[in-house]
Structure 1
């Protein structure tokens, strides 16, 4: 049993000492990448698409040549991307050459690799292939990705990278913390869980449905479809006309009473919300299906995905911050999302479920959330600590100095023109926005103990942030003329996972928080990684 792990690195070196081409199956990956790239830029391509669509409608005979040309271009781009992609392993490095017009050559030492992630799209599973993504700490983008490797070969390569880090840690002479070890694991990306792993959490289909309902992000999708709303509306109207139903007649309100209009609007709203919820639930199931969170040593491993299986691994030493989020519907259903944030190498904050810089546990109950947080930070007091509120001058500045003057000007203008119906709407909007600002002020709070900084914020929902003080990399003390006049300040704590701020607190307290954080960072001498 002991001889097999030792032989794997030799096999890898013999097989990949020279430049290697990836499997032709990688062309499936490049095709999907091109199509997703086009869809991702639909807003910029919309004018050309709309113009082309109208031209094809006006001249139906040109659709076949246009479609053929598009397919040929996609095929050529796919083949060239595959042809120019090569990789090799030599002397503890991985080198990757890629690019058609813009050439890219990556030379990445194994000892610099912090994350090894395996991603297995649906179209790779029958052929037992996978994608290997390699990241380094502090990079602003994904460092390297080999897009088509045999699954067993990828696992052997992952073991070779792991052994390189193990040897480096053993022979380190500068006394550095072992926190710089590799964030990866030796488990495969299939559905089975290694018996050495401790199962921390799973999500049922019911949990995913609740997550989809409480975390609706369909508005982004609808925004991309905005240029096509007119054509979609005409297509729907023509579809119903083919069955003898004039759907446009339902939108003629001149001959209907107020209660009929109200009932129709309410019904239409419920139908739209149902459709949006179905899209959101489908997205949650695609992202989090068969969700498992396990622990192997000091590594947390999240696996999930229906069409594309994702595996995200986080070493405890690389964890920067835990976040517990509750939207207003989460509060009603007594659910919450827990996030383990690590270094934000990809520049974004909150990505979908497959994000590489965080582990997201969706729609957990309160006791499950507390159990997960306690496993990470056993001495945390995120729910028992007393939070200090921010100054009421937050309300004065946002409602008194900004919102109210705008409302008064609009109200005077509407009164002058005797437009009382619009004035009523403006007044309702003013009161509603004021209520949201009040809720924002009421939610914001902070607390500090010997080890952690806690921040609470939200509006209709509530989010809790907890991070060790020694993880702070930078502090900022901000004062505008308004804040300085009232001896207030905004404090920012910058971590590898992003920044968190505490606004409208007394400047003396702000200086104290900054001094305390800097003192602990310097005196503890603990690595943030």
Structure 2
């Protein structure tokens, strides 16, 4: 039998105190009920896209028969609260000197035992509804499967900070205990640094202002996803807007009538309406950027990067430099025009298909920074990198022009010829012209894709360039490679071409149709670096 849970003991634990023993099972604060309720609501809201067709069909019935739907909504709300309460009652956790155990689950019981040495990333989240009570959530991520992640919810903020420091220190110590007899001077220094971290101050590397977040919201806008999700409601939306404008004395239908207005006037009305809708949708994206990155600060404490941000929910993500797998410099087409860059510091992720949101967020994002700020951060992480020089001098090796020939001649042209032939037989000249215009646009995109793709390397790093209208750069140390693949079919072999795939703990990247000599060279050098380097990839 487990001992009676003791929630008070945990809250008073200090960093120098001994962690609770194996018998000390802990319960969460009652405010955790709110966290579980919000979690269920987020899950349902995140999957509402699948319910849009059903809602589009039945929402009129819901309005006409509220006496049927209103009790159903109340029942669903009651079930949500019941689920949150039961989840809170069944949640237990305990800590030892080296690991954390968590018991949870209603229908499927879970018992997680996570050693601190396997913890890759420690995050602290403080939702807005926890700020008044001083509680927070502690997320522990691993480099393994998403199911091995742990999350402590509704613990005191000061204890979350203490536990984060304790886990990070223990993880570094455990990682070196296996080779204790062969410790190098650098490793000893790193252990000493872990002990003295608390007395040092963080160095602020970058901060984002409100204007930067507005730019990020504009450049990262994904209005097409929103418009696609709203497609079933278009008729009803336009009908409602038309009725509302009619009550204001505006004839919405008459504005677009060619019988009362010229073609130029109708075109101007349509353009104005489109711009207004775009402005509203962009404003949603801007608000989302502000909510996610408000108060953004990127700082560094010894070899740890720490990111803090969030308007309603405050997030704190820390990442050791040794766990950094690669740096990604991203630019969409608006970023290129405004000369802004989104910089990602990426570490290991889970390769499973059913990853949780936390498993896929093992990166530090620096939104909408200027090129000089971006390069300063890259140089801080990888002092000997040549990315700036390669970009400035266009030092990337392009992929073969066979990429253009293969995609246009073998793939797009047969489809275009078949579609054009069928439309001309039926005398559909307009459709035939549209098909030809689409074919030309796709050919242009293929050319841009070829133009963007390139690869380069130096003694320590591999650099990959890719993109379409925007452009992305990837930079990673060669010794971080987990696997390389060399692919070559008969046609490629005849032309001495090959494709290379680089696999890292943070993901994989394929570079198609480069010279066979360069492919072998990059693989040989990469494998040599992995075998000869004494550095750990984690």
* TM-score, structure 2 as length reference: 0.88
Counterparts of 1:294-305 in structure 2 under 5 Å? Answer: 294-305=299-310
**Correspondence 1:102 to 2:111:** no
* Residues 145 and 352, structure 2, Cα contact 8 Å, conserved in 1: no
CA 1:113–1:430 in 2, change beyond 3 Å: closer, same or farther? same
1:171 Cα shift? Answer: 4.4
CA 1:434–1:420 in 2, change beyond 3 Å: closer, same or farther? same
**In the alignment, what sits opposite 1:237?**
242
Query: The residue matched to 1:384 in structure 2 has which SS?
Result: helix
Farther-moved stretch of structure 1 (281-290 vs 68-77) = 68-77
**Correspondence 1:375 to 2:380:** yes
Cα displacement string for residues 96-121 of structure 1 (whole angstroms, at most 9, x for unaligned residues): 11111111111112232222211101
Query: The residue matched to 1:290 in structure 2 has which SS?
Result: coil
**Matches of 1:326 and 1:92, distance apart in 2:** 42
Query: The residue matched to 2:146 in structure 1 has which SS?
Result: coil
* Residues 303 and 321, structure 2, Cα contact 8 Å, conserved in 1: yes
**In the alignment, what sits opposite 1:462?**
471
RMSD of aligned alpha carbons: 3.1
The one of 509, 517, 535 equivalent to 1:500 is 509
Cα displacement string for residues 239-292 of structure 1 (whole angstroms, at most 9, x for unaligned residues): 333334342343444654332232223222212221221111111111111111
**Matches of 1:405 and 1:482, distance apart in 2:** 20
Counterparts of 1:54-203 in structure 2 under 5 Å? Answer: 54-141=60-147, 143-165=149-171, 167-168=173-174, 171-173=177-179, 175=182, 196-203=201-208
CA 1:213–1:459 in 2, change beyond 3 Å: closer, same or farther? same
Farther-moved stretch of structure 1 (335-344 vs 154-163) = 154-163
* TM-score, structure 1 as length reference: 0.90
1:372 Cα shift? Answer: 0.8
**Correspondence 1:273 to 2:278:** yes
1:237 Cα shift? Answer: 3.0
The one of 513, 519, 524 equivalent to 2:528 is 519
* Residues 141 and 346, structure 1, Cα contact 8 Å, conserved in 2: no
Query: The residue matched to 1:31 in structure 2 has which SS?
Result: helix
CA 1:296–1:350 in 2, change beyond 3 Å: closer, same or farther? farther
1:228 Cα shift? Answer: 3.6
Farther-moved stretch of structure 1 (148-157 vs 305-314) = 148-157
**Matches of 1:346 and 1:21, distance apart in 2:** 32
**In the alignment, what sits opposite 1:260?**
265
CA 1:163–1:9 in 2, change beyond 3 Å: closer, same or farther? farther
Farther-moved stretch of structure 1 (133-142 vs 461-470) = 133-142
**Matches of 2:465 and 2:535, distance apart in 1:** 26
**Correspondence 1:8 to 2:42:** no
**Matches of 2:449 and 2:46, distance apart in 1:** 33
Cα displacement string for residues 37-61 of structure 1 (whole angstroms, at most 9, x for unaligned residues): 1111113333554455343234232
The one of 212, 221, 227 equivalent to 1:216 is 221
* Residues 353 and 360, structure 1, Cα contact 8 Å, conserved in 2: no
**Matches of 1:384 and 1:337, distance apart in 2:** 19
**Correspondence 1:411 to 2:384:** no
1:166 Cα shift? Answer: 5.3
**Correspondence 1:339 to 2:355:** no
* Residues 475 and 491, structure 1, Cα contact 8 Å, conserved in 2: yes
* Residues 101 and 112, structure 2, Cα contact 8 Å, conserved in 1: yes
The one of 392, 395, 404 equivalent to 1:395 is 404
Cα displacement string for residues 33-87 of structure 1 (whole angstroms, at most 9, x for unaligned residues): 1111111111333355445534323423223312221111111111111111111
The one of 29, 32, 37 equivalent to 2:38 is 32
**In the alignment, what sits opposite 2:3?**
none
**Matches of 2:132 and 2:64, distance apart in 1:** 43
Cα displacement string for residues 331-354 of structure 1 (whole angstroms, at most 9, x for unaligned residues): 111111111111123768999999
CA 1:498–1:348 in 2, change beyond 3 Å: closer, same or farther? farther
Cα displacement string for residues 126-176 of structure 1 (whole angstroms, at most 9, x for unaligned residues): 111000111222333461101110112222322332443355367443547
Query: The residue matched to 1:126 in structure 2 has which SS?
Result: coil
Farther-moved stretch of structure 1 (244-253 vs 428-437) = 244-253
What are the ranges of 5 or more consecutive residues in structure 2 without an aligned counterpart? 1-11
Query: The residue matched to 1:383 in structure 2 has which SS?
Result: helix
**Matches of 2:253 and 2:91, distance apart in 1:** 54
Q: Would you say how many aligned residue pairs link Structure 1 and Structure 2?
A: 518
What are the ranges of 5 or more consecutive residues in structure 1 without an aligned counterpart? none
